[in-house]
Amino acid sequence: MKVDSYKKNAKLYDTFIGPLTSGLRALGMKMFPPREGMAVLDVGCGTGIHLELYQKAGCNVYGIDQSPSMLQVARNRLGESANLYMGDASNMPYQDKEFDLIVMSTVLHEMRRAVRAAVINESKRTLKEDGRILLIDFHPGPIRPLKGWFYKSIITFIEFAGGREHFKNYRDFIANKGLPAIASAHGLSIDKKKIVSGGNIALFLLRTDQRL
Check pLDDT > 90 for residue 17. no
Predicted pLDDT at 147: 92
Tell me the three-class secondary structure of 35-94, residue by residue: CCCCEEEEECCCCCHHHHHHHHCCCEEEEEECCHHHHHHHHHHHCCCCEEEECCCCCCCC
Predicted pLDDT at 162: 83
CA dist 31 and 190 (Å) reads: 12
The class (CATH top level) of 10-208 is alpha beta
Residues 114-129: what's their mean pLDDT? 97
Average pLDDT across the chain, whole number: 90
pTM for the full predicted model: 0.89
Quick one: 102 exposed, middle or buried, by C-beta within 10 A (0-12, 13-18, 19+)?
buried
Residues 84-108: what's their mean pLDDT? 96
Predicted pLDDT at 19: 60
Q: Say whether 155 sits in a helix, a strand or coil.
A: helix
CA dist 72 and 180 (Å) reads: 33
Q: Say whether 149 sits in a helix, a strand or coil.
A: helix
C-alpha closest to that of 33 among 56, 54, 61: 54
Predicted pLDDT at 124: 97
Residues 164-184: what's their mean pLDDT? 96
Q: How many helices (H) and strands (E) does the chain have?
A: 8, 7
- Residue 209's pLDDT band (boundaries 50, 70, 90)? confident
Check pLDDT > 60 for residue 16. no
